[in-house]
Structure 1
Amino acid sequence: MRRILVESARAKNTLKRGGGQAHVFNVDIPDEVDIQDDLVALDAALTTLEHKDETMAQVVKLRYFSGLSIDQVAELLEISPRTVNRQWSAARAWLITQMR
């Protein structure tokens, strides 16, 4: 899912696909928010996080891209839900600082 979203965002940013032009969305999103740029920045930050802490990156992928709950991620990774919660909080904070 991550790869599909990121590649779609990159494709939409190319000139061939109308890159740089305003996109029309069916939902009410403020003009200053550019979803494609955010996905590309998230992908770059997540790739860096994978090199620093692979488990934390797995937690982000499972929570953000797969939509799993903390208990489901804990079961898949065979760690405690409390550890998943700590990793999720730390990863979100780290990703936010990296994407700015």
Structure 2
Amino acid sequence: MPELPAPETMGISLDERFGLLYRELQRIAHRELGASRRTSLHTTVLVHEAYLRMEAGAVRDMGRLPFLALAGRVMRCVLVDHVRERQALKRGGDQVRVTLETEPGVADGGMPRIDVLAIERGMQALAGLEPRLVTVVECRFHAGMEFAEIAEYLGVSERTAQRDWRRARAFLLDMLQA
């Protein structure tokens, strides 16, 4: 069963929620930008841009995990928009490079390096086939959640969350290597 908001977080404003979870949001933003940091976008800018894009009313009665999942999704969109804008200016130059890693915080994990737009195309293809797998990728890869948190958020077992991650990761790697 998905996490229910704690009574003390019911009706909390977007400003207050960002204040309470700011460090976690910075961690998510740091992951989104990747180890190479080959972008003009900085962690703080990414967090603040996500704040500006989120609708205040949408988060009022959200628990911590749904909020972090939403924040990760919004940051992914901000980063994709930023990369597209840079490519429009430089016709394909300076793409931000990130990796599909197996563990949060691991810079390379032995995986091939890919670009943000390639991941986005893979996510869109996966969404047409298995929407839950997209949510697992957003939670694991973009929001940096542990499998137990993903399982709680989705209302599935931890083993199912791990299995979904492996399936999604394999699908994305196949698409990216094709």
Which residue of 1 is the match for residue 76 of structure 2? 2
Tell me how far apart the structure 2 counterparts of residues 34 and 83 of structure 1 sit (CA, whole Å).
27
1:21 is displaced (CA, Å) by 4.4
1:58-96 deviation per Cα after TM superposition (whole angstroms, max 9, x unaligned): 100111111111110000000000000001011111101
**Percent identical across equivalent pairs?**
31
Deviating above 2 A after TM superposition, structure 1's stretches of 4 or more consecutive aligned residues are 18-23
State the one-letter code of the partner of 1:41.
Answer: A
Tell me how far apart the structure 2 counterparts of residues 14 and 50 of structure 1 sit (CA, whole Å).
26
1:34 is displaced (CA, Å) by 7.7
1:22-72 deviation per Cα after TM superposition (whole angstroms, max 9, x unaligned): 58xxxxxxxxx986xx11011011011011001111100111111111110
Greater fraction helix: 1
Unaligned runs of 5+ in 1: 24-32
Unaligned runs of 5+ in 2: 1-74, 96-111
Which residue of 1 is the match for residue 36 of structure 2? none
Tell me how far apart the structure 1 counterparts of residues 125 and 87 of structure 2 sit (CA, whole Å).
22
Match of 2:143 among 45, 66, 87: 66
Tell me how far apart the structure 2 counterparts of residues 88 and 59 of structure 1 sit (CA, whole Å).
6
Match of 1:13 among 76, 87, 100: 87
Which residue of 1 is the match for residue 131 of structure 2? 54
Under a length normalisation based on structure 2, what TM-score does the superposition of the two structures give?
Answer: 0.45
Which residue of 2 is the match for residue 89 of structure 1? 166
- Over the aligned positions, Cα root-mean-square deviation in angstroms equals 2.2
Under a length normalisation based on structure 1, what TM-score does the superposition of the two structures give?
Answer: 0.78
1:19 is displaced (CA, Å) by 3.9
